[in-house]
Amino acid sequence: MDNILDGLNTEQLQAVTATEGFYRVIAGAGSGKTRALSHRFAYLVSEIGALPSGILCVTFTNKAAAEMKKRIRALTGDNDTGYISTFHSFCVSVLQEDISAVQYPKSFLVLDNADIDAMLKLIYEERGLTLRDMTFGKARDMIEMRKLVKDPEYYELMIAMTPEALQEKYLNAAAADDIIFWGYLYQEKKCFGLDYNDLIKYVLHIFDIDAAIRLKWQQRLEYIMIDEFQDIDALQYRLMRVLCDYHKNLFIVGDPDQTIYTWRGASVRYLLEFDKEFSNVRTIMMMRNYRSTPQIVAAANALIAANKIRVDKDLIPTLPDGAPVVYHHARTAGEEALWIAHEIKDLADRGAPLRDITILYRAHYLSRTLEEVFLREELPYTIFSGVQFFSRMEIKDALSYLRLVSLRDDLSFLRVANVPKRNLGQRRMKFLQDYAVQNSCTLYAALERTVDDDIFKNTKAKRLLALVERFSALVSELPVSELLSKLLDESGYEALLRTEGSQERLDNLAELKQSVHDFEINCGEESTLESYLAHVALMTAGDAESGKNAVKLMTVHTAKGLEFPYVFLCGLMEGVFPSKKVLTREGMEEERRLCFVAFTRAEKRLCLTDAEGRNLDGSYRYPSRFIFNVDRALLTYTGELDPRLVSDTRLMIESNEKMLELTAAGPSFGPGDRVVHSIMGSGEIVDIDRDKNAYLVKFDSIPTPRKISMRARLERAPSQV
């Protein structure tokens, strides 16, 4: 027990040993909440004797789950770590056991973005849509919005309707939105595919319709813990409520100042009002920061104090003094990157390993200038938020081979049937697609039935079928790692990469094999091919991290929950960070919280940088208001700013803040209200666009409705006053 309770402060000790009932920990950044969670898990298992399989510990990312498992294993010495997972991953576990309640097979498919895009491609081709109608990114967003907001009951249709009925709805759809939405649901149903939104909806639905299944899970999960509770959304909250309703043991941890996913539906309200929703809630506050120097903590406190909508609380530093927080203003983005490169070289000369140094930025595109300079300066770096490991071509190909063996689905078939070349090009694929549509079967089945047709003469179609058959028979005999190695070998895929001479791709395949191996160690007997495929679709950036000694580059969102000895936060310009997309006071506060997350990742040293120049829309770049939010005395400027630049910046920020204040009051009118515009005359509010802070108004004198900013002067029409 000593090592479990060792090194915990009073509040952490309280959090770890309070095991029964509803607990809320409001914890500041770097205050040791991850430590408290992992020690609590270990305490439950080692001291209380709870079974790991009866504990659900929800983390925000797969990476955080892996880290938590590692820590718990070190504390308990037990390999079984129960359900330590994200909400999505946990839903996959539930569905693997109980999806038959909605007449889906256990071999359902978890879809990631690349799968969704492959489906969209089919739909676009079939219905003659182009990217000008809608880009794939926009189509994915549109589908998500329809599933979450516009048609939240869509899943009932998806479950109840046959693929043929969905296909009919799709073929009868006329508007692009409808074609894409119904086409996508049809594609999903055809291969029993579920995307991230479906996973949680399906679980909630199964719990709704089947009390026995619900009770089974409620009884099984004796203790539930949830990390990063400030970013929980409505569906996750509903799921959590159901799960804890039997044993009533729920332990949540969050930091209201680190809410950064409001734009995706998260709400800090669930954390702040937790004590009103549940009875006998005990709250533990953890504000002592163990991560950062007092200089970094002071800068972070000053920054976040500028937010108005927040509970006032300051982080308390515990570490000895360190280097000052530095601010560097550069003339151009190139100079900014060069300054960072030189500082890094200086740190390295003084003994800092490159892997301890991280550069954070608000948006992906900011990495380009850094990369150019780093290549020139021969500074090794790794991008953590660029093309995600599991979205890379070779990884998707390898996984598609596994999936083809397991599921024989169309998506995998389309991806790898002709990689390496088997002479199954476009013409033969089209033949198979037509056959599959006419005979309502999969492409694989179509090939099985037509392989003796003349069209497949001089192809390696038979060999492909034989390969899949041979490996299907091996699925239950071989561990997934071995199956994968053999498959990559015998399919000729690895040889193809070798002939292409792509060492990086081969390294990535080796990394994939390692990740399968880790999965087998973590899951023991549960590590079947099906469960591996279901979980792997949920993996995201940074999940397969390479340990090479290189500077890390990532967005602030990716850095959530992580810590690094040396942090450079670059691109701190108005219009970049805060982003120019921010149009409301709430939005600005979320940006500031994001900046707070960035500051508080740093342990020993924090450097802030910005550059003059112009934004993509041609406007001038000014230093970010977030720099001026921190008292001058808490920052060491590397040079004085030009007084004209300072006064221009202040003017620009002041007028922007005034505009945000106007929006803080929210819309004065709702749909259906009659209004009068001083120039355009009278009209009716049709809709409100909160993102753009605008009304959609149908003016009586103009045939089409128009978007009018909430800043414009609109009066209520006389008859309504």
Q: Residues 255, 335, 589, 612: which binds ligand ATP (CB under 6 A)?
A: 255
- Binding segment for ligand ATP (CB under 6 A), chosen from 30-38, 110-118, 396-404, 629-637, is 30-38
| CB burial of residue 348 (10 Å; 0-12, 13-18, 19+) | middle
Of 28-36, 152-160, 414-422, 518-526, the segment contacting ligand ATP by CB under 6 A is: 28-36
Q: Is 34 in the site for ligand ATP (CB under 6 A)?
A: yes
Residues 583-622 that bind ligand ATP (CB under 6 A): 600
Active site residue 258: yes
318 in helix, strand or coil?
coil
Q: Of the candidates 26, 29, 416, 675, which one interacts with ligand ATP according to CB under 6 A?
A: 29
Q: How many angstroms separate the CA atoms of 10 and 250, rounded?
A: 20
- Is 32 annotated in a binding site? The answer is yes
Identify which of residues 543 and 563 has a Cβ nearer to ligand ATP in the complex: 563
d(CA 472, CA 483): 10
Residue in 652, 673, 667 with CA at minimum distance from that of residue 716:
673
Residue 228 designated active-site = yes
**Size of the chain in residues:** 721
User: Is 33 considered catalytic here?
Assistant: yes
Cβ 27 to ligand ATP, closest distance in Å?
A: 5
CB closer to ligand ATP out of 29 and 110? 29
Of the pair 30, 578, the CB lying nearest ligand ATP is at: 30
Stretch that binds ligand ATP, among 7-15, 162-170, 192-200, 462-470 (CB under 6 A): 7-15
Which run of H or of E encompasses 606? Answer: strand 602-611
For residue 291, state whether it binds ligand ATP (rule: CB under 6 A). Answer: yes
- Range 536-575, binding ligand ATP (CB under 6 A): 561, 563
Strand, helix or coil at 502? coil
Type of residue found at 402: L
Q: Does 231 bind ligand ATP (CB under 6 A)?
A: no
Tell which residue, 300, 384, 420, 375, has the closest CA to residue 553: 384
Q: Rounded to an integer, what distance in angstroms lies between the CA atom of residue 182 and that of residue 540?
A: 27
| Amino acid letter, residue 403 | R
Return all residues near 156 (Cβ < 8 A) that are at least 6 apart.
205
**Is 34 annotated as belonging to a binding site?**
yes
DSSP secondary structure letters along 140-193: HHHHHHIIIII-TTHHHHHHHS-HHHHHHHHHH--SHHHHHHHHHHHHHHHTTE
Please state, in angstroms and as integers, the Cα–Cα distance from residue 438 to each residue in 386, 449, 489, following that order.
41, 13, 35
If the CB atoms of residues 40 and 396 are measured against ligand ATP, the closer one turns out to be: 40
Q: How far apart are alpha carbons 721 and 713 in whole angstroms? A: 16
Of residues 81, 236, 258, 293, which has the active-site annotation? 258
Which listed residue (12, 24, 34, 336) is catalytic? Answer: 34
CB of 599 vs ligand ATP, minimal distance in Å: 10
Is 28 annotated in a binding site? The answer is yes
3-state helix, strand, coil in the chain (%, to 5): 55, 15, 30
Query: Shortest Cβ distance from residue 43 to ligand ATP (Å)?
Result: 15
**Host H or E run for residue 682:** strand 681-689
Nearest to ligand ATP of 102, 315 (CB atom): 315
Q: Does 9 bind ligand ATP (CB under 6 A)?
A: yes
Q: Indicate if 430 belongs to the active site.
A: no
Q: Are 608 and 328 in contact (CB under 8 A)?
A: yes
Query: Between 5 and 478, whose beta carbon lies closer to ligand ATP?
Result: 5
In whole angstroms, give the CA distance from residue 208 to residue 213: 9
* Cβ-based neighbour number of residue 496 at 10 Å: 17
Residue identified by tokens 């010495």 is 77
Mention every residue, 6+ apart, whose C-beta is less than 8 A from residue 181: 142, 143, 146, 151, 173
Among 27, 252, 338, 480, interactor with ligand ATP by CB under 6 A: 27
- The answer on whether 27 is annotated among ligand-binding residues is yes
Q: Which is nearer to ligand ATP, 27 or 116 (CB)?
A: 27
Q: Which helix (H) or strand (E) holds 553?
A: strand 551-555
Sites for ligand ATP among residues 71-100 (CB under 6 A): none
Are 697 and 677 contacting, i.e. CB atoms less than 8 angstroms apart?
yes
The piece of 3-11, 170-178, 198-206, 475-483 that touches ligand ATP (CB under 6 A) is 3-11
Which range touches ligand ATP (CB under 6 A), out of 31-39, 457-465, 497-505, 686-694?
Answer: 31-39
Considering only 22-30, 77-85, 368-376, 604-612, which stretch makes contact with ligand ATP by CB under 6 A?
22-30
32 forms part of the interface with ligand ATP (CB under 6 A): yes
Closest residue to ligand ATP using C-beta atoms:
32
Which residues are annotated binding-site positions? Answer: 27-34
| Binding residues for ligand ATP (CB under 6 A) | 7-9, 12, 27, 29-35, 255, 290-291, 561, 563, 600
| Catalytic center residues | 33-34, 227-228, 258, 601
Which residues are annotated binding-site positions for ATP? Answer: 27-34
